[in-house]
Amino acid sequence: MKTSILNTQIQKFINSNLNADIADLLLKGIAFDNVDNTTIIEQIESKKRAKKKLPTWFNTEYVYYPNKLNIEQTSSEITAEHKAKLVSGKNLIDLTGGFGVDTYYFSKQIENVIHCEINTELSDIVAHNYHNLQVSNVECINENGIETLKKLDKQFDWIYIDPSRRDDSKNKVFLITDCTPNVKTYQGLLLKYAENVMIKTSPLLDISATLLDLSNVKEIHVVAVNNEVKELLWILERNYSGSILIKTVNIQKENKQTFDFYYDEESTAKVEYTRPSNYLYEPNSAILKAGAFNSVSSNLGVKKLHKHSHLYTSETLIDFPGRRFNIENVIPFNKKAFSKLKIQKANITTRNFPLSVADIRKKFKVKDGGTIYLFFTTNLNNEKIILICSKI
């Protein structure tokens, strides 16, 4: 950690050049003898990336930033705040602390928190930033989290771990057994020292396959922000062997869409199929990732258009965790029927349909945008259809 970067004049330079062209800056030269240009550019790039993702850090003076890869890999404040609300108690240890965003929000819920980070510079950066952020209940330990856990040999209310999804060559990995540390190997140790364990994993991870690698899973949280799945959270509880509750959330600017279901009930949930009625429902990305295709129909009382379409309909409007539409018209999928509607601009979605959106736009000469929503899908009789809708 190069503390000279915190010089007032250098900080002013960083703040005044957040929107500058980096190539131009390097061409003109940066006139600070005590700090190399590369370090200053790194601070500019990392702080710029933090503006939307980490507004608390961005708006705090004299925050020191790590390289932009660390900023990319860290949780956003939105997801960190959400996961912090899932924990409670007196003590928590974060075994893979990183830039410390998750730890910061855990410290608002837990009396005493330990932040473990094996990278010395990053550990020093986090300690410095916590001082500026007025965090007083976090202890930063510059060690391997697993080894620290063994050394401390004490009980925690919670252990949090976000295994690294990069291999030795910095390439991305996704399987839980390929991440570092391998929680499949260490889950027994984790549950020895904590009643509750939270594991954060990639949103690309296959839920069913991962359940074969983990035991004592009590809950799985599928967390989306603005309809983009950001992370999966696995809650393990010592000695737990009951049904697994899957909790989905889509965090939006004005509200949160939530839907919960039990994993083992999805395969037996009763589903009715029907032709399109008055309203159409498209589940949010968290529900689709969780695989709650039958549970949505059974629990919310809506009917499916087709087993594989994952679109739902009802006669009366309901509150639904996803997008809702009025169905204005339903036509068969053919050029003659579509041309009669004289639609030149529309938002297009495909579900269980052989053509891509790009292919459809080319075939029907429809531009993107407007207030008309077209769903190209398959009905219960395996007929290709087009739903002409307006958004609610």
What is 61-129 written as a DSSP string? TT-----HHHHHHSPPHHHHHHHHTT--SSEEEETT-TTSHHHHHHTTTSSEEEEE-S-HHHHHHHHHH
Nearest to 245 by CA among 86, 80, 77: 86
Same domain? 87 vs 57: no
Same domain? 78 vs 65: no
Mean pLDDT, residues 198-221 taken together: 95
Q: Is residue 190 classed as helix, strand or coil in its secondary structure? A: helix
Nearest to 255 by CA among 321, 171, 189: 321
Q: Is residue 353 classed as helix, strand or coil in its secondary structure? A: coil
> Taking the CB of residue 29, how many other CB atoms lie within 10 A of it?
8
Same domain? 34 vs 59: yes
- Residue ending a domain, among 69, 88, 114, is 69
Give the neighbor-by-neighbor strand order of the sheet with 194-201.
138-141, 112-116, 91-94, 156-161, 194-201, 228-237, 217-225, 245-251, 256-262
Nearest to 156 by CA among 126, 185, 116, 122: 116
Percent of the chain's residues with pLDDT above 70? 99
Same domain? 311 vs 193: no
User: How confident is the model at residue 74, as a pLDDT?
Assistant: 92
| Range in 2-6, 136-140, 377-381 the model is least confident about | 2-6
Q: HSE (CB half, 13 Å, CA atoms) of 312?
A: 29
Retrieve residue 195's tokens. 């009643």
pLDDT by residue (tens digit) across 16-41? 989 988 888 877 777 787 788 888 99
In a domain? residue 247:
no
Same domain? 300 vs 166: no
CA distances from 17 to 1, 2, 24, 41 (A): 21, 20, 11, 9
Q: Which amino acid is at 224?
A: A
Q: Which pLDDT band, with edges at 50, 70 and 90, does 167 fall under?
A: low
CATH classification of the domain holding 136 = 3.40.50.150
In a domain? residue 250:
no
Q: What is the pTM of this model?
A: 0.93
In the chain, how long is the greatest CA-to-CA distance? 74
User: How confident is the model at residue 31, as a pLDDT?
Assistant: 74
Mean pLDDT, residues 328-339 taken together: 95
Judge whether residue 188 has pLDDT over 70: yes
Running DSSP on this structure, what letter comes out for residue 244? P
In a domain? residue 16:
yes
Same domain? 379 vs 308: yes
Q: Tokens 């393990």 — which residue? A: 236
Q: Which residues contact 136 (CB under 8 A, 6 or more apart)?
A: none
Judge whether residue 295 has pLDDT over 90: yes
| Range in 105-119, 169-183, 242-256 the model is least confident about | 169-183
User: How confident is the model at residue 68, as a pLDDT?
Assistant: 85
- Residue ending a domain, among 69, 99, 126, is 69
User: How confident is the model at residue 169, as a pLDDT?
Assistant: 61
Same domain? 32 vs 108: no
User: How confident is the model at residue 339, as a pLDDT?
Assistant: 94
What stretch of H or E contains 58? Answer: helix 55-58
User: How confident is the model at residue 168, as a pLDDT?
Assistant: 65
Same domain? 56 vs 184: no
Radius of gyration of the chain from its Cα atoms, rounded to whole angstroms:
25
**Size of the chain, expressed as the number of residues it contains:** 392
User: How confident is the model at residue 35, as a pLDDT?
Assistant: 81
Same domain? 222 vs 339: no
In a domain? residue 18:
yes
Mean pLDDT, residues 305-315 taken together: 96
Mean pLDDT, residues 68-95 taken together: 94
User: How confident is the model at residue 170, as a pLDDT?
Assistant: 65
User: How confident is the model at residue 113, as a pLDDT?
Assistant: 98
Judge whether residue 115 has pLDDT over 80: yes
User: How confident is the model at residue 173, as a pLDDT?
Assistant: 76
Dist CA 193 CA 158 (whole Å) = 9
Q: Tokens 């500026």 — which residue? A: 132
Q: Which pLDDT band, with edges at 50, 70 and 90, does 3 fall under?
A: confident
Same domain? 337 vs 387: yes
User: How confident is the model at residue 358, as a pLDDT?
Assistant: 96
Same domain? 134 vs 212: yes
- Residue ending a domain, among 18, 42, 69, is 69
Same domain? 167 vs 272: no
Find the domain containing 205 and state its range. Answer: 74-242
User: How confident is the model at residue 164, as a pLDDT?
Assistant: 85
Mean pLDDT, residues 56-65 taken together: 96
Contact 386, 376 (CB under 8 A): yes
How many structural domains comprise the chain? 3
Percent of the chain's residues with pLDDT above 90? 86
Contact 373, 346 (CB under 8 A): yes
User: Dihedrals φ, ψ of 203, to 5°?
Assistant: -70, -15
